[in-house]
Amino acid sequence: MLAVRDAEDVEELARFVDPPETAWIDVHGLGDERVLRRIGEIFGLHPLALEDVVNAQGRAKAELYPDHQLVISRLPIFEGGGSIDVPQLSLLIGRRHLLSLQERPFGCFDPVRQRLREGVGPIRSAGPAYLAYALIDTLVDHYYPVVESLTQELEDLEEDAIHAAPGTRVLERIHQNRRRLVVLRRVARPQREAVLELATTESPFVGPEVRTFLRDTHDHIAQVMELADSAHELSVALLEIYRSSLGQRSNEIMKLLTMIGSIFIPLTFVAGIYGMNFDRMPELRSPWGYPATLLGMGLLGAGMLLYFRRRGWIGRGRGR
């Protein structure tokens, strides 16, 4: 039977180095380096493997050491405030045991535990590599909601971008989305490479049967990458659409100002003429002066309106 337990006493772990049955040792919390070093000694970890586990800042990778297959994975998680956190999961696949280390427990592995408890499928009998596959596959499946949420966000922003809804919030949201896509893609790329290497390289710890399963996982992470690339492309496009829309808006605004100005500035000038106080201005004396001037102004204004309609600035149902 496979034992799942959160080791309290580090020394007790020695029992699991060469257990009679496959053992999964799941370590939470990497705060106490001394404990980790002791675990490393017990399981005979390579110093570099141990360093990668302790450091917890590295990129995803699969590295073969004499006594272990190391797999570093990263899981993207939305944080409050819209940033993305990418905690690390370190797996060390031995011949009879699987050592998994994480800073804090990811809820996402509960289904695996469930299947272990219930003994569903080959998971209990298939050795540490299959168990590692189950964990990595579960982890990769958690990339989907992140990329889908970012894609959904882009679709929500579309309406606002096309109509150039005023307010810098649109810009902020577009940029935040872009920044998160950048993080997601930076994390997903090495993850894909790591899974691919695991799925294609001969390793004494990962049999050909499990590699078939890992190829499927590779398909998933590759699809995540494709979705993220598409989202990135749309994000770039969206900003351009927004800028185009702003340009269009500016056009509309300037059109209005120009129309108002073009109609009334000349008219005001005419009114100014007859507001001058020269002694000799014969028009002012004429009884038809005032109505003739008003008529002239009306004609001038109507002419301008006609001109703008001709240029398609108003009416015809297309504007705005």
Ranges within 213-252 binding its own copies (CB under 8 A): 213, 215-216, 219-220, 222-223, 226-227, 229-230, 233-234, 237-252
Query: Closer to its own copies at the Cβ: 29 or 122?
Result: 122
Pairwise CA distance, residues 239 & 153, whole Å: 14
Does 20 participate in binding its own copies (rule CB under 8 A)?
Answer: no
Per CB under 8 A, does 167 bind its own copies? yes
Binding to its own copies, residues 26-85 (CB under 8 A): 46, 48, 51-52, 58-59, 61, 63, 65
Q: Which residue in the set 67, 262, 300, 305 belongs to the binding site for its own copies (CB under 8 A)?
A: 262
Judged by beta carbon, residue 57 or residue 104, the one nearer its own copies is 57
* Contact region with its own copies (CB under 8 A), list: 32-40, 109-117, 195-203, 256-264: 256-264
Q: Which of 274, 302, 303, 309 binds its own copies (CB under 8 A)?
A: 274
Measure CA 259 to chain center.
44
Distances (CA, A) of 236 to 188, 217, 230, 240, 272: 19, 29, 10, 7, 53
Question: In angstroms, what is the minimal distance from the CB of 46 to its own copies?
Answer: 8
Binding mask 101-140 for its own copies (x = CB under 8 A): ----------------------------------------
Choose which of 7, 264, 300, 305 interacts with its own copies (CB under 8 A): 264
Binding mask 145-164 for its own copies (x = CB under 8 A): -------------x---xxx
| 29/166 with CB nearer its own copies | 166
Round to whole Å and give the CA distance between 195 and 206: 12
Rg (CA), the chain: 35
What lies within 8 Å, CB to CB, of 175 at 6+ separation is none
Scanning residues 276 to 295, which ones bind its own copies (CB under 8 A)?
276-281, 283-285, 287, 289-290, 293-294
203 forms part of the interface with its own copies (CB under 8 A): no
Q: How far is the CB of 105 from its own copies (least distance, A)?
A: 25
Compute the least distance from the CB of residue 78 to its own copies, in Å. Answer: 18
Binding its own copies by CB under 8 A: which of 174, 195, 206, 221? 174
Q: Which stretch binds its own copies (CB under 8 A): 31-39, 85-93, 102-110, 165-173?
A: 165-173
Residues 13, 26: Cα–Cα separation, whole Å: 11
Q: Choose, by CB under 8 A, the member of 125, 149, 201, 268 that binds its own copies.
A: 268
Using CB under 8 A as the binding criterion, the count of chain residues that bind its own copies stands at 96
